[in-house]
Structure 1
């Protein structure tokens, strides 16, 4: 017997589960399908799960600021019972070094002022007082060890920092996806795991009719939402939804470093840092480690891979990221044994996500979101539900973009900003910073 649903969501990561939740709350009979064994088991589990409110664009920053309040009020948003174990928001704040690479944060502060994001200005003396283990000399541009001048200061010091108090990180990103799954199930949503899709079926008019699984199971639905993470491009191809996309997605290998914490007490009292002068970001990591990620400078190769066939081993990139942070933190020890995470990012050409419909009636996309959209997941779920509902009720989102009213900040976001048909956004950082 063929099953029937109103909407099938491909993927049960943090964003896929959020889409399932919000569609179920709107009364849709939903099914999240994932080839992995549990919610958040894929790229979500490898997320650095950083919550921050600064992006390179007004719309990106506004979305992130709205997302902050969802994490701040996580239990209430989920409607979770008192006995449910929830992901925890470590609200540490985030410190962004002012330097040449980020325009000394001038534009970021203008955006923060426009949307009402609070921040503090820190001088170099302030940083030294709070972070005596820091070397504030400039090393820009970021280099690799084989480059001439690696590790040598390039003159002067950074220009202080901007501290955003409304930020931090989530302790367990996979648990956050599982929290969203349970909330979706409370709203009537269903989930199916270890289920690989081999076909996205259409009716005689070319509209979505459902999916077929590898075991032959056919599931009918007039709506399919692609939230397949690093597999998003393959799913779009399966649906025949690529032809009118000006912006496309690809799977990139990413390596995140875990090294022993270089300073006592920083795990308990430290905050997230973003330092474009050395092109790395950090945050405390459980086990008294420091987590280090790359901000994707030109010297770091972007390794595009087949999401079904890639090397999960660490490469020399692991050590390079640690060595760049050691420029800023001379007391940092770099162990011989590599620890951390290798995972895939699903990235759009301009590193801004695609939250949109497609040329195929009934097929929608929440893709290109890896690296900088984890923090926006609960809002993205609500945005996609609004977009899908408007489209199903006759609004042509391509010609008349859905306007999304945000609950906490009260701002209205034009969802056309995330269109698949947009021109490449030159205001983007073209990196994990978004």
Structure 2
């Protein structure tokens, strides 16, 4: 069984990764060292009412806690980011602490960027209606953000996270209009003890989204041995731990949870998201659907399509599952990887067919396929692969 260090720190692209049980006790000291005096927690209502989670965070912040904004939602609306900005100003806040899943962390980051941008929400909406919506500039003067993840979405070591400015109903194109700025957190406090307070359903819903960040990196067009190393090791930790932490193989002991959190960090370092994430984005552009659910459904089908067309670094992926590639043909290795992904997915309480997602409509498949083909992660598909709309529609029909 793979082991991890009890605690470690690592600086990655300007973000201090601080890992270990109880590390949130150090939040206040970390802020004090950086002359940050007034912190506001940004989270959703479920997290905000979870005393087992919030008490350690608030105690860690101590006298630097200036307030809690607990109204984020999975919809990630721009209005929410501007509500955060209003409360920041009312409370004279100089640092945001995003706590919870990807939606809360993204809202905290985007509130930081738009607090410096100068445009109002009305300005953003006007630009969106005219087709002239630009991303905000980011600079060192924006309020810093610290993140405290509690799910496996893998949204913590990131500078992105879009917010919706116009819904499909409001948009002149009949499609949602989103915008995002770049705001890498200054610190990521990855405390495995906090993950133990998250309901299993929330962990399961986020698991495939995070895992696929590692899965996609080795076959990305711009992959390299360094990105392969962190991705494959992260996959090995997650493929062993997730079914027990977030699935039906549990209950998980503390060491297993620790390995899952460490794996979640590793797959984010130099991640290179590709076609599976494009599928997630394609559905998210049309529906209010959790991307982890879409990932869970489509990933075996996407892999089957990839392996039929290109090698897709299947030996590295097999290594990520602990599969011995010796004496296996290319086809056998591909089947073994697909079987391992499917087994991992099936251990989680997640959908397995697109028709199980209540938001989806089969008649939307052609439009979703067009979104997917045009999505930026498709620029990283494996060398030698050139997906078209017909290819993507075929994958979607197989997954339906």
Instruction: Give 1 or 2 for the bigger CA radius of gyration.
Output: 1
Return the TM-score normalized by structure 2.
0.23
More strand by share: 1
More helix by share: 2
Return the TM-score normalized by structure 1.
0.22
